[in-house]
Amino acid sequence: MDNVVALTQELIRRPSVTPDDQGCQTLLRARLEACGFTVESLRFGAVDNLWARHGQQGPLVTFLGHTDVVPPGPLEAWTSPPFSPEIRDGVLYGRGAADMKGAVAAFTLALIAFVEKHPDHPGSVGLLLTSDEEGVAQDGTRRVMEILEGRGEHIDYCIVGEPSSCEQLGDTIKHGRRGSLTGILTVHGVQGHIAYPERCDNPIARALPALAELAASDWDQGNADFPATRLQFSNIHAGTGADNVIPSQLETVFNFRFAASVTADVLRRGVAAVLDRHGLRYDLTWRLSGQPFLTREGPLLEALTESIQAATGIRPQRSTAGGTSDGRFVAPFGSQVLEFGPLNGSIHKIDEGIPVADLPRLQTIYEDVLERLLVRQRPDL
Ligand SMILES: [Zn+2]
């Protein structure tokens, strides 16, 4: 099991800042091929993706992850260099240790161990990796999913190895994620001298009551799985810089993180209705960067919960908090999707790290899920 620590270190040594994979996937490909996986490397633009599968039948259980990392920030701020893995006081430090090279190493070795133990296992096991999860995410998991579904390779169960644990390994499973919808709004007016407002149309004065109403509105009531959907403004700008000019327009950007109980279309129409009611002249464009998803129950949630409890003694809680993940590209195809991985307290920070002891436990949990989903539920096999 020390293997998983060594493999995590090997991955950290490759400075794979998005989207440059730096050979991480080549390293994993060799290990997977050596134990009989069919492996494809799918490169789109500057993005490397890997799809590995063992078995021909359904159900298909897949681990999803990314080999890229966010930039380390100022090197002098790190206690040890970010791409030179170092263990201090039981913690393995390095960029990507928690997000998510530790989990990538753990589920790769879990897959290999599972296949070595059950060479003729029922169903199929798979691994999907991208080098562009932390970036724009256009040529990564999204593209690979289109290809897989296009040729009928349907993922039934998907575990994303994102760092979901908060205080202790195993305390939290992400069983869904909110959607993300961004609006870019320009409110038009008529520019002129501030001393002659009757000859102008002030877009600031016009827009403010509407923007205040948008910010104060509840867009749904929330439920047991999701907090209530709210609109948040991230940018606002108006004005020429001169203090005697009424500007011609006001520009603002806002975002919804929305629950699975509401749709992007409902939100778009709701915003337009408020702007129209306030009589604004405006242009509004939208960017939908992720649909919400939710896996409330089913064999995957049962198996993962049992595996975590068996390895850690902890009954995990369920959460939909946090940003988006690449699970958003898998769930729309009807897959059960859950996120489970190591502690997330240090991710994207200086001195990112993972407790060394959590790595073999993570591998055990991932392997045990495969056992529960594919082998133990079929005592006849
Ligand atoms: Zn991540």
Q: Where are the domains of the chain?
A: 2-177+292-376, 179-290
CATH of 179-290, one of 3.40.50.970, 3.30.70.360, 3.30.1330.50, 3.40.50.1460: 3.30.70.360
Among residues 48, 99, 133, 134, which one is catalytic?
Answer: 133
Q: What is the reported pLDDT for 323?
A: 77
Q: Return the amino acid letter for 146.
A: E
CA pseudo-torsion sign 109, 131, 25, 51: positive
Q: What is the pLDDT of residues 64-115, one digit of tens each?
A: 999 999 999 999 999 999 999 999 999 999 999 999 999 999 999 999 999 9
10 is annotated as an active-site residue: no
Q: What is the pLDDT of residues 246-300, one digit of tens each?
A: 999 999 999 999 988 899 999 999 999 999 999 999 999 999 988 889 999 999 9
Q: What is the reported pLDDT for 324?
A: 78
68 is annotated as an active-site residue: yes
Residue 344 Cα, ligand 1 centroid: separation in angstroms? Answer: 10
Q: What is the reported pLDDT for 266?
A: 96
Among residues 68, 225, 358, 368, which one is catalytic?
Answer: 68
Flag residues of the chain having pLDDT under 70.
1-2, 377-381
Residue 25 Cα, ligand 1 centroid: separation in angstroms? Answer: 16
Q: What is the reported pLDDT for 290?
A: 86
What is the C-alpha R_g of the chain? 24
CATH of 2-177+292-376, one of 2.70.98.60, 3.40.630.10, 3.40.430.10, 3.40.50.1400: 3.40.630.10
CA pseudo-torsion sign 42, 348, 72, 82: negative
Residue 320 Cα, ligand 1 centroid: separation in angstroms? Answer: 15
pTM recorded for the entire structure: 0.87
Q: What is the reported pLDDT for 42?
A: 97
Among candidate residues 104, 105, 112, the one with its CA nearest the CA of residue 133: 104
User: Distance between terminal CA atoms of the chain?
Assistant: 27
- Identify the residue whose tokens are 């948008």: 214
